[in-house]
């Protein structure tokens, strides 16, 4: 008589992989849009079915055990294969045109991006372009699982299992209220704004700006004052206009002409004064459509208006 063993669900594996990456059940729940209690229940289910102890649990968070690390590495590979098979089957079962799925670190849709998308579509009208906007961590997870073909990332990016291509660079700028003492300046250095309070958004772009602020203004004796608001970076300028804080942004946002807000370019020596944008895709996944988009995004990066 055949013994039936309980099975694991794909969603349970995704919860475990995300918890391992985040080092926290609470943060994994936030990323996946569920409750921490459900994540815990899924982890216990996996451990019960496999007989493995996946995590060391402490007050500071969780970290994988040696056997948990091996299990989750294999689970990631299986999920990637499953997603690839599902995507191929979907394309076989439907007669839709070629699809290019572009993930964008919210919100990175500038004139450079819209130009690249328009040029790609003009040269390949048979291609359907699908866009989605996520934070960096969720974007890379979607890329790893094959949900998207290419990710457009803002800020520094260390490639591991991905191939990358630098697309363009934008000069950093400080957004400040018209009543600020630096209003009217043509340029500012980081030293000029040391001691100021900054506000950032909670999305991927806001997190990129926060990393730059802490790296450029922090030292062993001083930590920059950064307020993270639970709104997208694009909505932060309202806080600046109200005089609550300053905001780090890029020169491309000057064209928005926000009433009550001025933009001053950052300059100075070896300090960070630019924000890089990078395309990332899975190794071995290049095709003619993806090649066309990446080449187009690089070629037409000279424009600079906000979408």
Residue 304 predicted with pLDDT over 60: no
Q: How confident is the model at residue 81 (pLDDT cuts 50, 70, 90)?
A: low
**Average pLDDT of span 283-301:** 81
- The tokens describing 10, both together, are 């794909």
Q: Which of 3.40.50.300, 1.10.10.10, 3.30.420.40, 3.40.47.10 would CATH assign to domain 10-89?
A: 1.10.10.10
- Domain spans, the chain: 10-89, 96-168+275-299, 169-274
Round to whole Å and give the CA distance between 216 and 30: 28
Any idea what DSSP says for residue 251? G
pLDDT confidence bin for 305, thresholds 50/70/90: very low
On the question of pLDDT at 7 being above 70, the answer is no
How far is 263 from 8, CA to CA, in rounded Å?
53
Beta bridge partners of 164: 280
Domains 96-168+275-299 and 169-274 alike in fold: yes
Give the Cα-Cα-Cα angle 133, 139, 145 (nearest 5 degrees).
125
Best CA proximity match to 44, nearest among 75, 19, 76: 19
The per-residue pLDDT for 189 is: 92
pLDDT tens digit sequence for 175-189? 999 999 999 898 999
> What's the pLDDT at 133?
76
Per-residue confidence (pLDDT) for residue 192, from 0 to 100:
92
Average pLDDT score over the chain:
79
pLDDT in tens, 139-174: 888 888 788 899 998 876 776 678 888 888 888 999
Which is more confidently placed, 30 or 150? 150
Q: Is the pLDDT of residue 1 over 50?
A: no
Please tell me the predicted confidence (pLDDT) of residue 91. Answer: 45
Q: Is the pLDDT of residue 5 over 50?
A: no
Distance CA 55, CA 9 (A): 19
- Whether cis (ω within 30° of 0) applies to the bond prior to 107 is yes
Band (106; pLDDT cuts 50, 70, 90): low
92 has pLDDT over 50? no
Name the CATH superfamily housing domain 169-274: Periplasmic binding protein-like II (3.40.190.10)
Residue 64 CA to residue 21 CA, distance in Å, equals 9
Q: What is the mean pLDDT of residues 91-115?
A: 63
Instruction: Check if CATH label 1.10.1060.10 holds for domain 96-168+275-299.
Output: no
Residues 45 and 49: their CA atoms lie apart, in Å, by: 6
Asked if 233 and 175 count as a contact pair (C-beta separation under 8 A), the reply is no
Q: What is the pLDDT of residues 200-229, one digit of tens each?
A: 887 667 777 888 888 888 775 677 889 888
- pLDDT, tens digit (0-9, with 9 covering 90-100), for 235-279: 788 889 999 999 998 877 776 677 899 999 998 766 788 888 889
Query: How confident is the model over 40-44, as a mean pLDDT?
Result: 91
What is the value of pTM for the model shown?
A: 0.60
Contact 222, 196 (CB under 8 A): no
| Model confidence band, residue 124 (pLDDT cutoffs 50, 70, 90) | confident
pLDDT at 247: 93
Integer CA distances (angstroms), 214 to 79, 160, 176, 219, 226, in order? 36, 24, 18, 8, 8
Token look-up 């729940």 returns: 29
């Amino acid at each position: 008589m055949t013994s039936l063993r309980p099975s694991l669900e794909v969603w349970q594996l995704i919860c475990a992989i995300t918890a391992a990456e985040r080092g926290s059940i609470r943060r994994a729940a936030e990323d996946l849009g569920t409750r921490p209690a459900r994540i815990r229940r899924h982890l216990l289910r996996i451990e019960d079915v496999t007989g493995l102890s996946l995590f060391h649990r402490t007050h500071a968070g969780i970290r994988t055990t040696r056997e948990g690390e091996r299990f989750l590495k294999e689970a990631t590979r299986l999920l990637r294969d499953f997603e690839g098979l599902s995507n191929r089957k979907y394309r076989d079962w439907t007669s839709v045109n070629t699809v290019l799925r572009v993930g964008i670190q919210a919100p990175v849709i500038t004139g450079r991006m819209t130009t690249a998308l328009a040029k790609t579509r003009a040269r390949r009208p048979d291609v359907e372009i699908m866009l989605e906007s996520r934070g960096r961590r969720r974007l890379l997870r979607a890329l790893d699982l094959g949900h998207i073909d290419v990710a457009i990332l803002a800020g520094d990016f260390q490639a591991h299992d991905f191939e990358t291509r630098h697309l363009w660079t934008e000069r950093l700028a400080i957004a400040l209220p018209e009543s600020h003492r630096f209003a009217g300046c043509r340029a500012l250095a980081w030293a000029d704004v040391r001691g100021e309070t900054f506000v950032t958004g909670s999305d991927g772009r806001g997190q990129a700006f926060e990393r730059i602020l802490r790296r450029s203004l922090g030292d062993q004796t001083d930590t920059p004052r950064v307020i993270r608001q639970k709104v997208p970076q694009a909505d932060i300028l309202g806080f600046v206009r109200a005089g609550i804080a300053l905001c780090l942004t890029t020169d491309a946002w000057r064209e928005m002409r926000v009433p009550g807000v001025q933009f001053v370019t950052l300059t100075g020596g070896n300090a960070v004064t630019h924000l890089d944008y990078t395309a990332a895709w899975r190794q071995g996944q290049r095709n003619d459509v993806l090649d066309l988009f990446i080449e187009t995004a690089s070629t037409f990066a000279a424009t600079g208006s906000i979408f």
